[in-house]
């Protein structure tokens, strides 16, 4: 078995931002009225100069971000098939302001590029999703997947090592066998903490199409993986077989009208899962009813507003992400322009709809031409399900408070992300007159997009991936 060593010492491709800033910088901006967010730290996946080596820079683009169940660890995956795990700094009394800092804990190569010789297809190493398993012993476990293969990784610590050989001395020189008069049993001695990542299981050869989602079941023994047309159910212990639970592939591929875009298990009910489609609908299935869940139990769909119909209607209604709330009572979906919250008991329309960047509605044509319209934005809940967050362009990301109905646009950028800095809300101006501090729609940078974000399961700490940068923000420390 291949073993990849990593530790908090290997920072070869991460540069930590400097943290030695005077504390006077902490509150340089006037406190905004609602919740304010401060920069905790930023990381750049900074292999070599991006200008010289565009390819290696491409492999640094972060493709998924995920906190574990306690929020103590944060995992990122990138296009180069690497997984980087950050660990939260232990809180210490004399350094209160360092609360919420994350340091690199382990990095390892999860997937390698492959070539499918039977189909003449290149299989990218890009990590599409990472999901943590509930903790079962002192080690941590996570699932990572590229387009075809899901892997189960164990990340564990080791702080002792055995010492003392019979046939060689401490320096490794061989001893003369004739001099051995007594037997030595090795003794364990403390050593520097070492973190190692070991591949425990490889779940391969079950997907014909590209895997877009993985989700761990609340029964702790199964998970599912979804590709464009099928969803498979796996047992963590069994790698050579999986059960197909959903198959929407038509007998004739020319009749194909929709694809699966995302899928997730209910957080508490082990028998329930949802999957979203490119037609903007969500299906909820009950695995108790039948072994094959081709027939859904619930079908969530909002009737289309005929006045808004256009050439792009279908494209922008495609759902890019679906997430159950922590309570399990709601689901949230993200389409190109909005985030919607659905009550599980109401199938005909969402209970809440939030506009993420409605100002782009007039620019759909150019977004279609530069392919941006197909970007897959993800969305997340905060720990108490009261706030939702999702990304946009120009390194902007949006938060919506479901109770107060306030929303805010923030920007993740290296220029204004000095540690402890407070994020200033951003505004995009739609009309002709541009006020100070506002940005016009035409000057938005569509190459800077925030697709992947994560929210700490219990605290107000968020992780935002903007191309090859990872930003961690937390609400203001008082």
Partner 1 sequence: MAGVAGPATGSGAAGGDGDDSLYPIAVLIDELRNEDVQLRLNSIKKLSTIALALGVERTRTELLPFLTDTIYDEDEVLLALAEQLGNFTGLVGGPDFAHCLLPPLESLATVEETVVRDKAVESLRQISQEHTPVALEAHFVPLVKRLASGDWFTSRTSACGLFSVCYPRASIAVKGEIRQYFRSLCSDDTPMVRRAAASKLGEFAKVLELDSVKSEIVPLFTNLASDEQDSVRLLAVEACVSIAQLLSQDDIEALVMPTLRQAAEDKSWRVRYMVADKFSELQKAVGPKITLNDLIPAFQNLLKDCEAEVRAAAAHKVKELCENLPMEGRETMIMNQILPYIKELVSDTNQHVKSALASVIMGLSTILGKENTIEHLLPLFLAQLKDECPEVRLNIISNLDCVNEVIGIRQLSQSLLPAIVELAEDAKWRVRLAIIEYMPLLAGQLGVEFFDEKLNSLCMAWLVDHVYAIREAATNNLMKLVQKFGTEWAQNTIVPKVLVMANDPNYLHRMTTLFCINALSEACGQEITTKQMLPIVLKMAGDQVANVRFNVAKSLQKIGPILDTDALQEEVKPVLQKLGQDEDMDVKYFAQEAISAVAQRLRKLDFPVKDSEEPSAPGADKNHFLRPRGPGEDTGKGPAYQLHVNTRDTLPQLDTAEIVLFLPKHRLISRI
Could you give the C-alpha distances from 378 to 55, 78, 397, 447, in angstroms and in order? 25, 15, 11, 17
Q: How far is the CB of 291 from partner 1 (least distance, A)?
A: 5
Q: Nearest CA to 199 among 87, 108, 69? A: 108
Residue placing its CB nearer to partner 1 in the complex, 161 or 309: 161
Nearer to partner 1, 97 or 160 (CB): 160
* Closest separation in Å from C-beta 154 to partner 1: 7
Strand partners for 277: 260
Binding site for partner 1 (CB under 8 A): 1, 134-139, 141, 154, 156, 158, 160, 162, 165-168, 176-188, 200, 218-221, 237, 268-271, 287-291
CA angle 12, 17, 23 (to 5 degrees): 150
Q: Distance between CA atoms of 216 and 219, rounded to whole angstroms?
A: 8
Q: How far is the CB of 194 from partner 1 (least distance, A)?
A: 10
Give the Cα separation of 334 and 336 in Å (integer): 7
CB of 275 to partner 1, least distance (A): 20
Q: Is the distance from CB of 216 to CB of 223 less than 8 angstroms?
A: yes
Q: In whole angstroms, what is the distance from residue 360 CA to residue 364 CA?
A: 6
Helix (H) and strand (E) counts in the chain: 3, 34
Paired with 115 in beta bridges are 122
Select 167 or 365, whichever has its Cβ closest to partner 1: 167
Of 96 and 138, which has the nearer Cβ to partner 1? 138
The distance of closest approach from Cβ of residue 282 to partner 1 in the complex, given in angstroms and rounded to an integer, is 22
CB of 287 to partner 1, least distance (A): 8
- The minimum distance between CB 5 and partner 1, in angstroms, equals 12
Write out the H or E segment, with its range, that includes residue 400. strand 396-401
The CA distance from 229 to 260, in Å, is 6
Shorter beta-carbon distance to partner 1: residue 236 or 354 = 236
Is the CB of 152 or the CB of 399 nearer to partner 1?
152
Residue 139's beta-bridge partner residues?
none
- Please give the Cα distance from 306 to 79 (Å, whole number): 40
Q: For partner 1, which is the closer residue by CB, 51 or 178?
A: 178
């Amino acid at each position: 078995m291949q073993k990849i060593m990593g530790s908090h010492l290997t920072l070869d491709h991460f540069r930590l931002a400097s943290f030695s800033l005077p504390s006077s910088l902490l509150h340089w901006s006037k406190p905004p009225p609602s919740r304010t967010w401060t920069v905790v730290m930023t990381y750049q996946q900074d292999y070599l100069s991006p200008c010289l080596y565009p390819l290696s820079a491409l492999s640094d683009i972060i493709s998924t971000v995920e906190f574990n169940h306690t929020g103590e660890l944060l995992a990122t995956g990138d296009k180069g098939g690497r997984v980087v795990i950050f660990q939260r700094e232990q809180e210490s009394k004399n350094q209160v302001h360092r609360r919420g800092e994350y340091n690199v804990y382990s990095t390892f190569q999860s997937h390698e590029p492959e070539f499918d010789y039977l189909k003449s297809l290149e299989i990218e190493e890009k990590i599409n999703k990472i999901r943590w398993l509930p903790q079962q012993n002192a080690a941590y476990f996570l699932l990572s997947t590229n387009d075809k293969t899901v892997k189960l990784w164990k990340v564990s610590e080791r702080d002792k090592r055995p010492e003392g050989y019979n046939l060689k001395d401490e320096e490794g020189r061989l001893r003369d066998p004739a001099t051995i008069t007594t037997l030595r049993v090795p003794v364990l001695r403390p050593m520097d903490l070492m973190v190692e990542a070991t591949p425990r299981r490889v779940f391969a050869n079950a997907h014909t199409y590209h895997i877009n989602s993985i989700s761990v079941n609340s029964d702790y023994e199964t998970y599912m993986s979804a590709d464009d047309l099928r969803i498979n159910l796996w047992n963590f212990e069994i790698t050579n077989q999986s059960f197909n639970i959903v198959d929407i592939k038509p007998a004739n591929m020319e009749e194909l009208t929709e694809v699966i875009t995302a899928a997730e298990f209910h957080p508490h009910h082990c028998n329930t899962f949802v999957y979203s489609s490119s037609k903007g609908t969500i299906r909820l299935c009950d695995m108790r009813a039948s072994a094959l869940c081709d027939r859904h139990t619930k079908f969530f769909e909002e009737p289309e507003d005929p006045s808004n119909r256009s050439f792009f209607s279908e494209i922008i209604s495609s759902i890019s992400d679906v997430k159950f709330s922590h309570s399990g009572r709601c689901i949230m979906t993200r389409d190109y322009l909005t985030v919607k919250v659905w009550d599980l008991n109401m199938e005909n329309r969402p209970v809440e709809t939030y506009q993420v960047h409605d100002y782009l509605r007039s620019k759909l044509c150019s977004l279609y031409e530069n392919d941006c319209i197909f970007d897959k934005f993800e969305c997340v809940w905060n720990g108490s399900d009261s706030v939702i967050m999702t990304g946009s362009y120009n390194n902007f990301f949006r938060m919506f408070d479901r109770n107060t109905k306030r929303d805010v646009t923030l920007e993740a950028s290296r220029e204004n992300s000095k540690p402890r800095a407070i994020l200033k809300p951003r505004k995009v101006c739609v009309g002709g007159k541009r006020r100070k501090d506002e940005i016009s729609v035409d000057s938005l940078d569509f190459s800077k997009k925030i697709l992947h974000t994560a929210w700490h399961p219990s605290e107000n700490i968020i992780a935002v991936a903007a191309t090859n940068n990872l930003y961690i923000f937390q609400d203001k420390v008082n």
